Amino acid sequence: MTQCAIAAAGLGAVAFGLAMLWSRSLYVGAVCLLAVLLQTALIYMLLGAPLLGLLQVMIYAGAVMVLAVVTIMASGGGPSGERFADFSLPRPLAALGVLAVAVELALTLASTRASAPTPAAAGLSAAFGANLFHAYALATEAVTLLMFLASLAILPDREPS
């Protein structure tokens, strides 16, 4: 059962991703990305790391995407111009390059022997939490500081008088 759910969530994520790639409007793109992130959060929970799923939704979907959307609004929603960039090579050829990466990834994955996802024991989450506050305590604090510093990046320029 979980398998089907995971598969369905994966499919959905990929579909929304492609929609984001093809979207004409940046708002639509942002919303599609939001949907992808929610799908991945779902997968996390199904895989047996609920805390992480929660974190994903909170930080990523909640904070980052909001910032992105705000910036999109500030930039005027993006002119309805060309979606895709110009290349010296003809466009299909450029797309082919990216496709090649995808194919390679697929081949790599196919060659590895994947095992069935086992729903994690409850102990995993507890251990995760313990890690966050013991082994990774310093890292967690550092990350907090980092996010604070990152926010300083938004400070505006000193206007030349």
Partner 1 sequence: MNAAQVPWAAWLLFLAPVSAILIGMFVVRPLKPEWTHLPILASCAVVTVCALLLLQRVLMGGSFDLNFYRWAGVGSWGVDFGLRIDGPGVAVLSMVAVVGSLIHLYAASYMEGDPGFSRFMLVFHLFFLAMIGLLTANNYVQLYLFWELVGAASYLLIGFWYHKESARKAALKAFLTNRVGDFGFLLAILLIIDSFKITHFHLLYFLVARATAAGHAPQFLPAIGLLLIWAACAKSAQFPLYFWLPDAMEGPTPTSALMHAATMVTAGVFLLVRSWPLIAAVPGLPDLVAGIGAFTAVSSAIVAGTRKDLKRILAYSTVSHLGLMMLALGLGRVSVAIFHLIVHGFFKAALFLCAGNVGHAIHQPTANVDEVGGWRKALPWTYVFFVAASLSLAGIFPFGGFFSKDAIVDAAMERGGLFALSGLLISAGSAFYIFRMLFLTFHGERPEQKGLSAHPHESGSGLLAPVGLLALGAVVIGAARPVVETLVAGGWTALPVGIPGYAQTMNLPGSTEIPGVALKALLIGMGMAALGAAAAYALTMVDAGWDWRWRKSSPALERVFDSDFGWKTLVDWFARGVSSLADFVGRVLDKKWWDGAIEGSGRVVQAAGSLFSDAARGRLNEALWWMAAGAALLLALGAAR
Partner 2 sequence: MSGAVWATSGALFAVGLATVVLRRQMLAMLLGVELMVAAADLALVRGACRFMDPEALAAVAVVLAVAAAEAVVGLSLILRVLRSGRGLDAGELSELRG
Pick one of 72, 93, 158, 160: the residue that binds partner 2 (CB under 8 A).
Answer: 72
**97 contacts partner 2 (rule: CB under 8 A):** yes
Q: Which of residues 7-26 bind partner 2 (CB under 8 A)?
A: 7, 9-11, 13-14, 17-18, 20-21, 26
**Under the phi-then-psi rule, with left for phi > 0, alpha for psi from -120 to 50, and beta for the rest, what region is 76?**
left
User: Is residue 147 packed enough to be buried (19+ CB in 10 Å), middle (13-18) or exposed (0-12)?
Assistant: exposed
**42 contacts partner 2 (rule: CB under 8 A):** no
Alpha-carbon distance of 34 to 157, in angstroms, equals 30
Pick one of partner 1, partner 2, none as the site partner of residue 28 (Cβ within 5 to 8 A by kind).
none
Alpha-carbon distance of 115 to 126, in angstroms, equals 24
Pick one of 90, 112, 122, 161: the residue that binds partner 2 (CB under 8 A).
Answer: 112
**43 contacts partner 2 (rule: CB under 8 A):** yes
Residues 6 or more apart whose Cβ sits within 8 Å of residue 145: none
Binding site for partner 1 (CB under 8 A): 85-89, 94, 97-98, 100-101, 104, 107-108
